Amino acid sequence: MIALLPGRLFDGAALRDGLAVLVEDGLIRDLCPIAALPDGVIRHDLAADSLLAPGFVDLQVNGGGGVLFNDEPNPAGLARIAQAHRRLGTTAILPTLISSDAATRGHAIEAVREALAAGMAGIAGLHLEGPFLAPARRGIHPAEAIATPDAADMAALCAAFPAPMLITLAPEIVQASYVARLAQAGRIVFAGHSDATLDQAMAGFDAGITGTTHLFNAMSQLGSRAPGLVGAALLRGHAGIIVDLLHVAAETIRIAHRVMGPRRLFLVSDAMSTVGSTIDRFDLGGRSIRLSQGRLQDAAGTLAGAHLCMAQALRHAVQDVGIGLEDALAMATATPADAVGLSRHGRIAPGCRADFVVLDAGLAVRDVWQGGVRCAAR
């Protein structure tokens, strides 16, 4: 058994002082006062100014480490993406497939299935973002990939899967009976890339939608007489939000946080292949995407995901948006875990995975532990 002794810890709900975390066989066994550590425990004394938090949980990871999941929907690609984000403090990801054809979706599902069976560190499930989206709100998603689901699609999506599978769709494009069928099959359904009216969005939520993908971006906006999907999202379910200060203004993020609170609103990176790598361009659906001044865009100026990791999003939330540290930490850990039912992630509590990020006083990543093993130094 080992014990991690931080200056302070965040347990998924609150900041706490004077506690050690006991770890054995990759799991958290207990929290105890530092003065009452059991005999024989191997101590790991962290810096006095350190903050120990659950490893970040990111539900929207398109790529990292020079790899785009769409281009390499296989276990090797997944391993490189997970490794890149692990170094940046994220210990659980849903690799995210941008709208593609049925064959690529099949490869992605099988790749994640294989990774899960092999116990690949960091892979916690799968996010299929599209292709059942509104053409008018597709953003950077390839136009030729946008579709409406048929019987074969539904059969593939509803087949047994051993972990959370998040599906982003437009509720005005996918009929409510299909949404209900996905939910009954255990899929987590979010609304996104949608031009839905409030009534259409609410019908989707009534059918089984439980959240919204990248709030405010690529969706019908909040108006005085037409609340749109943004209005529905503020009223119902969870929502991810990209806090890079490019996708959403700080003031808008602050409003969403005040309305939804830290138990419904959570951080996502929407990371692309540039994150955790030195590359500054890649191709997506035949279009060249370039990184310039922190912004990923095509030649027309359309945003193409984000050059962002969860640690950066956390710092922006606290230092630029003004969200309190406890709330922001919850939005990067416990809340996304809760949104997709990852009950052993996102918290420092007995029985949870021993996945941790160690932050310094400026919220920069100092160290990472995964499954009870220090891995940042590898």
Catalytic residues: 270
DSSP codes joined into one string, 57-113? EEEEE-EETTEETTT--SHHHHHHHHHHHHTTTEEEEEEEEES--HHHHHHHHHHHH
CB count in 10 Å sphere of residue 190: 29
For 214-236, b where at least 16 C-beta lie within 10 A, e where not — what string? bbbbbbbebeeeebbbbbbbbeb
| Calpha distance 227→260 (Å, rounded) | 16
What 8-state DSSP symbol labels residue 297? Answer: E
Stretch (H or E) spanning 166: strand 165-169
Burial 129-159 (b: 16+ CB within 10 A, else e): bbbbbbeebbbbbbeebbbebeeebbeebbe
> What is the spatial distance between Cα 215 and Cα 266, in angstroms, rounded to a whole number?
10
